[in-house]
Structure 1
Amino acid sequence: MAKQSIFGRISTLMKANINALLDSAEDPQKMLDQLVRDFSNSIAEAESAIAETIGNLRLLERDHQEDIQAAAEWGNKALAASRKADELRAVGNTVDADKFDNLAKIALQRQIGEENEARAIAPSIAAQNEVVGKLKDGLNGMKQRLEQLKSKRSELLARAKTAEAQNKVHDAIKSIDVMDPTSELGRFEDKVRRQEALAAGKEELAASSLDAQFESLEDIGQLTEVEARLAALKSGGTPQAAIDQ
């Protein structure tokens, strides 16, 4: 029953659709880890069961070989007894000849018995050989699936790490995105632009104030000229003359 349970588990695991299990799993990595554990445990149990089955098979084969050897030995004894009986009968010793013929018959009976035992064990040996062959194939298949699972798990872990790294890079790039007005760099750029605008405004204001000063100087110059011309008029001169002077 234990072997049947192990064989059934092997069959179930071998038929499992790994991709479907991963697709339906909430955490594929945990699912793969569990499958690796299940396969590893089942492989260990299967190896133990197969070793026991092989051991029983070798015992049967040894018994079968011993039966065949015993049958051959009894056959040789029967032949030797029969020849001895023939020799004794040839010289007229029928009493001892009959005794050796009886020994030959006993040996032949033992030979038949050993042959029957060997013949009876043969189907069990054939069946056990078939079982062992299937078990070995199943075990090799499980080991291959286990390697596939381990490879799949390594691939999945590598992909997960790559995705994590890509997300970190993306987040880092996003945090310094100059086109993102909500980023620190965007806010700093906006502050610099405001400062530049303020400086430009002050410069413009300073320039307009300077223009006003020059305009006031021109007004003063005009007033001075007016006074000069008035003075010239009072002295009997002409405004034009004052200008020429």
Structure 2
Amino acid sequence: MAKQTILGRITQLAKANIHAILDSAEDPQKMLDQMIRDYTTNIAEAESAIAQTIGNLRLAEDDHREDIQAAQTWGQKALAASNNAEEFRAQNDTASADKFDNLAKVAIQRQMDAERSAKTAEPAIASQTEIVEKLKTGLEAMKRKRTELVNKRDELVARAKSAQAQSQIQDAVKSIDIMDPTSELSRFEEKIRREEARVRGQQELAASSLDAQFEQLEDLGEQTEVEARLAALKAGETQPQGELDS
């Protein structure tokens, strides 16, 4: 995976409009779950790639420091050789002086090579440093996005559970709504009313039967009186006037 590819992917994911994606999703929770998995995978891959990029940058920085130190060292050696050459020249030892001048030239050449190497590495190090900073920034943005996704997913799950609980409560309330003729309580009340009406009917029927019995008794008593008086008439008995008038 190239650094530009990593940077491009991180930038794309870090700038992703989560709300727009969710608005177009048929099942937001499933979409969130998939996005969380994708972000988790990409974060792990990005962390590995960034770690490698940082490692390469640190190696380049180490080489750059070594080149600078080498240039300084060769510069010091060139100076020492040149000083030695001048000392021998002062002693009219031309051969030794030339020898140390040649050593000074070699040291200077080595110094220049180290300086060129260090200078050549500086643009690459600067570029790598910029890339690493962008990768770090993008990675942190991805982590924040993932946290946002997790929070959004948890919020949706909580809202779904709350909606389900409210629906169950509404169903329970509806089942005991006394104004609803289809509710359980209403049907139970109607059953009781019908039973009460049946009992009243039985009571009325029983009362009617009792009245009829009393009427029969009254009729029987009157008939008995008629029979008694008839028997008295036949026996030649007369009823006292007072009794007739009473």
Same fold (TM over 0.5): yes
1:112-141 residue CA offsets vs partner (Å, 9 max, x unmatched): 221121111111111111111111111111
Counterparts of 1:1-245 in structure 2, within 5 Å, are 2-225=2-225, 231=232, 235-242=237-244
- Give how far 1:7 is off: 2.0
Q: CA–CA distance in 1 between the matches of 2:138 and 2:23?
A: 26
Bigger relative contact order, structure 1 or 2, given CA contacts below 8 A and separation 6+?
Answer: 2
Q: CA–CA distance in 2 between the matches of 1:128 and 1:2?
A: 13
- Give how far 1:97 is off: 1.2
What amino acid sits opposite 1:126 in the alignment?
Answer: A
Query: Tell me, which stretches of 5 or more residues in structure 1 are unaligned?
Result: none
Q: CA–CA distance in 1 between the matches of 2:161 and 2:77?
A: 79
Corresponding pairs, count: 244
Q: CA–CA distance in 1 between the matches of 2:32 and 2:239?
A: 118
**Conserved 8 A contact 1:32-1:149:** yes
What TM-score do the two structures reach when normalised by structure 1?
A: 0.87
What TM-score do the two structures reach when normalised by structure 2?
A: 0.87
1:66-94 residue CA offsets vs partner (Å, 9 max, x unmatched): 11111111111111111101111111112
Q: CA–CA distance in 2 between the matches of 1:84 and 1:144?
A: 64
**Conserved 8 A contact 1:85-1:97:** yes
Runs of 4 or more off by more than 6 Å in structure 1? none
Q: CA–CA distance in 1 between the matches of 2:151 and 2:39?
A: 14
User: Percent same amino acid among aligned pairs?
Assistant: 63
Q: CA–CA distance in 2 between the matches of 1:240 and 1:217?
A: 27
Q: CA–CA distance in 2 between the matches of 1:38 and 1:226?
A: 113
- Give how far 1:34 is off: 0.8
Q: 1:56 to 1:241 in 2, by over 3 A?
A: closer
Q: CA–CA distance in 2 between the matches of 1:119 and 1:228?
A: 155
